Amino acid sequence: MDLLKHKVHTAYKGVAESLMSTRTTSAFIEKGVVTPDEFVIAGDFLVAQCPTWSWQGGDPKHAKPYLPADKQFLVTRNVPCLKRAAAMEEYAGKENHLDGEDEGWVET
């Protein structure tokens, strides 16, 4: 079922992208959408300010012609999550190592 949903969404997205033109005038204030140039400028600012963010080129066959080849999308990596780290410290050393058929598994 998920595969069917994905295929329908992909087809819908492809048709919508082919019918809609690429935005050339900014409508950020009115509609919250940006032009490709504004997206690149904002992405460059984000990458300069936050070292966990970086540009990626991705697969060339999926590249959008209105974006630079090396700036197709933004990714973030190695972001510390203090909430998750604190939660894991609570369980540190309290694991129950399972034996028998479940050997190698840990119960927390």
* pLDDT more than 70, % of the chain: 94
Distances (CA, A) of 97 to 29, 91, 92: 56, 13, 13
Confidence band, pLDDT 50/70/90 cuts, at residue 108: low
Quick one: pLDDT at residue 74? 97
β-pairing, 96-97 vs 106-107, is antiparallel
45-95 pLDDT per residue, tens: 999 999 899 999 999 998 999 999 999 999 999 887 777 777 777 777 777
β-pairing, 53-56 vs 106-107, is unpaired
pLDDT at residue 20 above 90?
no
d(CA 8, CA 20): 18
Closest CA relative to residue 47, chosen from 17, 24, 68:
68
